[in-house]
Structure 1
């Protein structure tokens, strides 16, 4: 006796696609918002510039800026504190807070954000893969490099 009829393919298709999936590219028109008035550590200012010149910047909206400002304060505290124990606690908080902004490769993977590859990077990778091919992959006989030593 046969079992039930198979489901229609449209009802079997997976529907758990992430709504955050995106391919990110750098937008040179985005300007970094000014950090609030405060004496900022040089590393914090560099971090702030890096964030706003990154491919993730177009994904941030006005409401994200508040969280990024708070994260900037944590980053600044990390660089300015002398207390090793406090620095460790601040680093842990930074790790937790930056997750939602896609600032690390794992965070971007979780958000399903992929950074657009430039043709130059693709060509470099292709050349690197070509150079790494074994003689068997290129069709060459590896014994051709052998020679008699007297």
Structure 2
């Protein structure tokens, strides 16, 4: 059994450093390019699709060779069923891939993504994405796997605390941004400059 979650900095006694041991994450999320999606389409669904395609090809050959009317009718019905399976699996794989890439992009804009980048955890994030998409399609086993990875990746408030992470407040982020801008801005001389024509003299 895991031990109790560490106390959040805001609940610690004042005699202690309130943010000791906690890593602050940017409230605005991770900036920069999104890493490329690293996984191939779902291998189980892909195997099902290839099996169905092979069956369609085999049925087409049998149908061309069949001479009995009853056999031809049976083959046509089976062929139609397998063609529907191919179309359904193709659509499911396409939609799942689109959902995975969309969720992947969203996750890499979160504050937690700065930690994943530093720890080179892109494959773990990709595994979470795959389980999460399957869970949203009703797969209960995938839902359990997604919950476990969610905890490991800090994707819920309790997990953030266990991992000693905290997302900075918006006002803190704004203050730090202003300080950085002030440091980056060179000082300017606000004294009014005289008319350069005043230095000219008639000869």
**TM-score interval (norm. to shorter):** 0.5 to 0.7
TM-score by length of 1: 0.54
- Report how many aligned residue pairs link the two structures: 102
Pick closer, same or farther for the CA change 1:115–1:75 going to 2, 3 Å. same
Separation of aligned partners in 1, 2:150 and 2:20: 19
Distance 1:62 1:121, change over 3 A: closer
**RMSD over equivalenced CA pairs, Å:** 3.1
Of 110, 118, 121, the residue aligned with 1:54 is 110
Map residues 30-49 of structure 1 onto 2, 5 A cutoff.
Answer: 30-38=33-41, 39=94, 40-49=96-105
Q: Which residue, out of 28, 32, 48, partners 2:31?
A: 28
1:65 maps to which residue?
122
After superposition, residues 87-126 of structure 1 pair within 5 angstroms as 87-119=139-171
**Residue 106 to residue 30, structure 1, CA distance change in 2 (3 Å):** farther
Alpha carbons 2:30, 2:111 under 8 Å: kept: yes
Q: Secondary structure at the match of 1:114?
A: strand
- Give the 3-state SS of the residue equivalent to 1:29 in structure 2: coil
The answer for the alignment partner of 2:58 in structure 1 is none
Of Structure 1 and Structure 2, the greater helix share is in 2
TM-score (norm. length: structure 2): 0.42
Residue 70 of structure 1, CA deviation: 1.7
Change (3 A) 1:91 1:18: farther
Instruction: Kindly state the Cα deviation for residue 35 of structure 1 after the two structures are TM-superposed.
Output: 4.1
1:121, distance to aligned residue in structure 2 (A): 9.6
Q: d(CA) in 2 for partners of 1:22 and 1:68?
A: 20
